[in-house]
Chains A and B, each alone.
Chain A
Amino acid sequence: EAQVTQNPRYLITVTGKKLTVTCSQNMNHEYMSWYRQDPGLGLRQIYYSMNVEVTDKGDVPEGYKVSRKEKRNFPLILESPSPNQTSLYFCASSLGRGRSYEQYFGPGTRLTVT
Protein backbone atom coordinates (compact mmCIF):
# COMPACT_ATOMS: atom_id res chain seq x y z
CA GLU A 1 0.00 0.00 0.00
CA ALA A 2 1.33 3.41 -1.01
CA GLN A 3 1.77 5.49 2.09
CA VAL A 4 3.66 8.06 4.09
CA THR A 5 4.41 7.06 7.66
CA GLN A 6 5.39 9.26 10.57
CA ASN A 7 6.71 8.36 13.98
CA PRO A 8 5.91 9.02 16.68
CA ARG A 9 2.26 9.95 16.27
CA TYR A 10 2.13 11.65 19.64
CA LEU A 11 4.96 13.09 21.69
CA ILE A 12 5.14 15.10 24.89
CA THR A 13 8.60 16.41 25.71
CA VAL A 14 10.34 19.11 27.69
CA THR A 15 12.06 22.26 26.55
CA GLY A 16 15.57 21.69 25.24
CA LYS A 17 15.45 17.93 24.83
CA LYS A 18 16.46 17.07 21.28
CA LEU A 19 13.98 15.02 19.30
CA THR A 20 13.52 13.58 15.84
CA VAL A 21 10.27 12.93 14.01
CA THR A 22 10.72 10.38 11.27
CA CYS A 23 8.99 10.39 7.90
CA SER A 24 9.18 7.60 5.39
CA GLN A 25 7.46 7.00 2.05
CA ASN A 26 7.34 3.83 -0.05
CA MET A 27 6.46 5.39 -3.41
CA ASN A 28 9.95 6.31 -4.64
CA HIS A 29 8.96 9.98 -4.50
CA GLU A 30 11.59 12.62 -5.10
CA TYR A 31 9.80 15.52 -3.41
CA MET A 32 9.20 15.56 0.32
CA SER A 33 8.09 18.31 2.64
CA TRP A 34 7.33 19.10 6.27
CA TYR A 35 4.44 21.27 7.44
CA ARG A 36 3.14 22.39 10.76
CA GLN A 37 -0.49 23.15 11.42
CA ASP A 38 -1.65 25.54 14.09
CA PRO A 39 -5.18 26.79 14.82
CA GLY A 40 -6.04 29.82 12.71
CA LEU A 41 -2.76 29.67 10.77
CA GLY A 42 -3.39 26.85 8.32
CA LEU A 43 -0.53 24.65 7.12
CA ARG A 44 2.87 26.27 6.96
CA GLN A 45 5.83 24.72 5.22
CA ILE A 46 8.94 24.16 7.35
CA TYR A 47 11.41 22.53 4.95
CA TYR A 48 11.25 20.71 1.67
CA SER A 49 13.48 18.45 -0.40
CA MET A 50 13.46 18.13 -4.16
CA ASN A 51 15.69 15.03 -4.10
CA VAL A 52 18.37 13.20 -2.12
CA GLU A 53 20.84 15.62 -0.53
CA VAL A 54 18.77 18.60 -1.77
CA THR A 55 16.88 20.46 0.94
CA ASP A 56 15.66 24.02 1.29
CA LYS A 57 13.85 26.23 3.76
CA GLY A 58 10.13 26.73 3.67
CA ASP A 59 8.25 29.54 5.36
CA VAL A 60 8.97 28.71 9.00
CA PRO A 61 12.35 26.89 9.24
CA GLU A 62 13.64 28.46 12.47
CA GLY A 63 14.32 25.88 15.16
CA TYR A 64 14.19 22.92 12.79
CA LYS A 65 16.66 20.85 10.81
CA VAL A 66 16.15 18.19 8.17
CA SER A 67 18.25 15.74 6.22
CA ARG A 68 17.68 13.68 3.08
CA LYS A 69 20.33 11.00 2.91
CA GLU A 70 18.11 8.51 1.11
CA LYS A 71 15.07 8.97 -1.05
CA ARG A 72 12.51 7.33 1.22
CA ASN A 73 13.30 9.13 4.49
CA PHE A 74 13.05 12.78 5.50
CA PRO A 75 13.44 13.21 9.27
CA LEU A 76 12.59 16.44 11.06
CA ILE A 77 14.96 17.35 13.87
CA LEU A 78 14.29 19.73 16.73
CA GLU A 79 17.67 20.35 18.34
CA SER A 80 16.31 22.33 21.28
CA PRO A 81 12.52 22.28 21.29
CA SER A 82 10.61 25.19 22.75
CA PRO A 83 6.93 25.54 23.71
CA ASN A 84 6.18 27.55 20.55
CA GLN A 85 6.96 24.41 18.56
CA THR A 86 3.96 22.69 20.07
CA SER A 87 1.97 21.85 16.96
CA LEU A 88 0.59 19.20 14.63
CA TYR A 89 3.22 18.19 12.09
CA PHE A 90 2.67 16.62 8.69
CA CYS A 91 5.08 15.10 6.24
CA ALA A 92 4.14 14.97 2.56
CA SER A 93 5.62 13.53 -0.61
CA SER A 94 5.08 13.52 -4.35
CA LEU A 95 6.85 12.43 -7.52
CA GLY A 96 8.21 15.95 -7.94
CA ARG A 97 9.32 17.97 -10.95
CA GLY A 98 5.74 18.57 -11.97
CA ARG A 99 5.20 14.91 -12.82
CA SER A 100 2.32 14.46 -10.39
CA TYR A 101 -0.28 16.81 -9.08
CA GLU A 102 -1.05 14.79 -5.99
CA GLN A 103 0.78 15.07 -2.72
CA TYR A 104 0.46 12.29 -0.18
CA PHE A 105 0.37 13.25 3.47
CA GLY A 106 1.32 11.27 6.52
CA PRO A 107 -1.07 10.83 9.44
CA GLY A 108 0.48 13.60 11.49
CA THR A 109 2.57 13.91 14.66
CA ARG A 110 1.11 15.84 17.54
CA LEU A 111 3.96 17.38 19.50
CA THR A 112 3.66 19.07 22.88
CA VAL A 113 6.67 20.86 24.35
CA THR A 114 6.35 21.83 28.02
Chain B
Amino acid sequence: DAKTTQPTSMDCAEGRAANLPCNHSTISGNEYVYWYRQIHSQGPQYIIHGLKNNETNEMASLIITEDRKSSTLILPHATLRDTAVYYCIVRVAFGNEKLTFGTGTRLTIIP
Protein backbone atom coordinates (compact mmCIF):
# COMPACT_ATOMS: atom_id res chain seq x y z
CA ASP B 1 0.00 0.00 0.00
CA ALA B 2 1.20 3.48 -0.81
CA LYS B 3 2.48 5.70 1.98
CA THR B 4 0.85 8.98 2.85
CA THR B 5 2.12 12.24 4.30
CA GLN B 6 -0.08 14.59 6.30
CA PRO B 7 0.61 17.68 8.40
CA THR B 8 0.87 16.90 12.07
CA SER B 9 -1.70 19.43 13.21
CA MET B 10 -4.05 22.15 11.98
CA ASP B 11 -6.44 24.65 13.49
CA CYS B 12 -9.68 25.88 11.95
CA ALA B 13 -12.24 28.39 13.15
CA GLU B 14 -15.69 27.07 13.89
CA GLY B 15 -18.03 27.54 10.95
CA ARG B 16 -15.24 27.81 8.42
CA ALA B 17 -14.18 25.16 5.94
CA ALA B 18 -11.41 22.85 7.11
CA ASN B 19 -9.07 21.72 4.35
CA LEU B 20 -6.85 18.77 5.22
CA PRO B 21 -4.15 17.87 2.69
CA CYS B 22 -2.59 14.48 2.04
CA ASN B 23 0.30 13.52 -0.20
CA HIS B 24 0.40 10.03 -1.72
CA SER B 25 2.91 10.37 -4.54
CA THR B 26 3.50 6.61 -4.89
CA ILE B 27 -0.17 5.67 -5.28
CA SER B 28 -0.90 2.89 -7.76
CA GLY B 29 -3.64 2.90 -10.36
CA ASN B 30 -5.88 0.49 -8.45
CA GLU B 31 -5.49 2.12 -5.04
CA TYR B 32 -8.22 4.17 -3.46
CA VAL B 33 -7.89 7.12 -1.11
CA TYR B 34 -9.79 6.73 2.15
CA TRP B 35 -10.28 9.16 4.97
CA TYR B 36 -11.09 8.18 8.54
CA ARG B 37 -11.12 10.16 11.73
CA GLN B 38 -10.70 9.28 15.37
CA ILE B 39 -12.22 11.40 18.09
CA HIS B 40 -10.16 11.12 21.25
CA SER B 41 -9.69 7.36 21.78
CA GLN B 42 -12.95 6.26 20.21
CA GLY B 43 -13.12 3.80 17.35
CA PRO B 44 -12.10 5.31 14.01
CA GLN B 45 -14.94 6.52 11.82
CA TYR B 46 -15.11 6.32 8.04
CA ILE B 47 -15.56 9.67 6.30
CA ILE B 48 -15.19 9.28 2.56
CA HIS B 49 -13.22 7.57 -0.17
CA GLY B 50 -12.37 8.09 -3.83
CA LEU B 51 -10.42 6.69 -6.76
CA LYS B 52 -9.85 9.58 -9.14
CA ASN B 53 -12.97 11.70 -9.25
CA ASN B 54 -13.94 14.24 -6.65
CA GLU B 55 -16.46 12.89 -4.17
CA THR B 56 -18.96 14.44 -1.78
CA ASN B 57 -21.17 12.98 0.92
CA GLU B 58 -23.06 14.33 3.90
CA MET B 59 -19.89 14.64 5.95
CA ALA B 60 -17.24 15.95 3.61
CA SER B 61 -15.82 16.44 0.14
CA LEU B 62 -12.73 14.78 -1.28
CA ILE B 63 -10.69 16.48 -3.96
CA ILE B 64 -8.11 14.29 -5.73
CA THR B 65 -5.59 15.90 -8.06
CA GLU B 66 -5.53 14.81 -11.67
CA ASP B 67 -2.24 12.95 -11.23
CA ARG B 68 -3.67 11.36 -8.04
CA LYS B 69 -0.53 12.17 -6.10
CA SER B 70 -2.36 14.24 -3.52
CA SER B 71 -5.82 14.89 -2.16
CA THR B 72 -7.67 17.26 0.14
CA LEU B 73 -10.45 16.47 2.56
CA ILE B 74 -12.85 19.35 3.03
CA LEU B 75 -15.18 19.73 5.98
CA PRO B 76 -17.40 22.54 4.68
CA HIS B 77 -18.62 24.03 7.95
CA ALA B 78 -16.47 22.78 10.79
CA THR B 79 -18.01 22.38 14.23
CA LEU B 80 -16.40 21.71 17.59
CA ARG B 81 -17.39 18.06 17.23
CA ASP B 82 -15.07 17.80 14.23
CA THR B 83 -12.04 18.11 16.50
CA ALA B 84 -10.26 14.80 15.91
CA VAL B 85 -7.28 13.11 14.33
CA TYR B 86 -7.83 12.64 10.60
CA TYR B 87 -6.17 9.81 8.72
CA CYS B 88 -5.56 9.57 5.00
CA ILE B 89 -5.10 5.97 3.83
CA VAL B 90 -4.32 4.56 0.43
CA ARG B 91 -4.93 0.93 -0.45
CA VAL B 92 -6.56 -1.44 -2.90
CA ALA B 93 -10.25 -2.22 -2.39
CA PHE B 94 -10.00 -6.03 -2.41
CA GLY B 95 -8.34 -8.72 -0.34
CA ASN B 96 -7.24 -8.01 3.20
CA GLU B 97 -8.92 -4.70 3.91
CA LYS B 98 -6.22 -3.70 6.36
CA LEU B 99 -6.17 -0.01 7.17
CA THR B 100 -2.70 1.32 7.83
CA PHE B 101 -3.08 4.44 9.94
CA GLY B 102 -0.11 6.76 10.10
CA THR B 103 0.13 9.63 12.52
CA GLY B 104 -2.64 11.61 10.84
CA THR B 105 -3.51 15.28 11.25
CA ARG B 106 -4.78 16.51 14.57
CA LEU B 107 -7.48 19.02 13.65
CA THR B 108 -8.57 21.44 16.34
CA ILE B 109 -11.68 23.52 15.77
CA ILE B 110 -11.41 26.87 17.51
CA PRO B 111 -14.64 28.47 18.89
Contact = CB atoms under 8 A, between A and B. Distances in A.
Interface of A: 4, 31, 33, 35, 37, 40, 42-43, 45, 48, 50, 56, 58-59, 88, 90, 92, 94, 96-98, 101-108, 110
A98 B51 CA distance: 13
B46 A102 contact: yes
Q: Provide the main secondary structure of the chain B interface.
A: loop
A105 B103 contact: no
A11 to B, nearest CB: 15
Contact of A4 (B32, B34, B43, B94): B43
Q: Which of B32, B34, B93, B99 has the most CB of A within 10 A?
A: B99
Contact of B44 (A56, A59, A90, A98): A90
Interface of B: 32, 34, 41-46, 49, 93-94, 96-104
Contacts of B101: 37, 42-43
A31 B93 CA distance: 13
Given A45-B98, A58-B98, A101-B32, A108 B93 contact: no
Contacts of B32: 101
Contacts of A50: 96
A48 B43 CA distance: 17
Contacts of B46: 101-104
Contacts of B102: 42
B98 A48 contact: yes
A107 B44 contact: no
Nearest to A35: B99
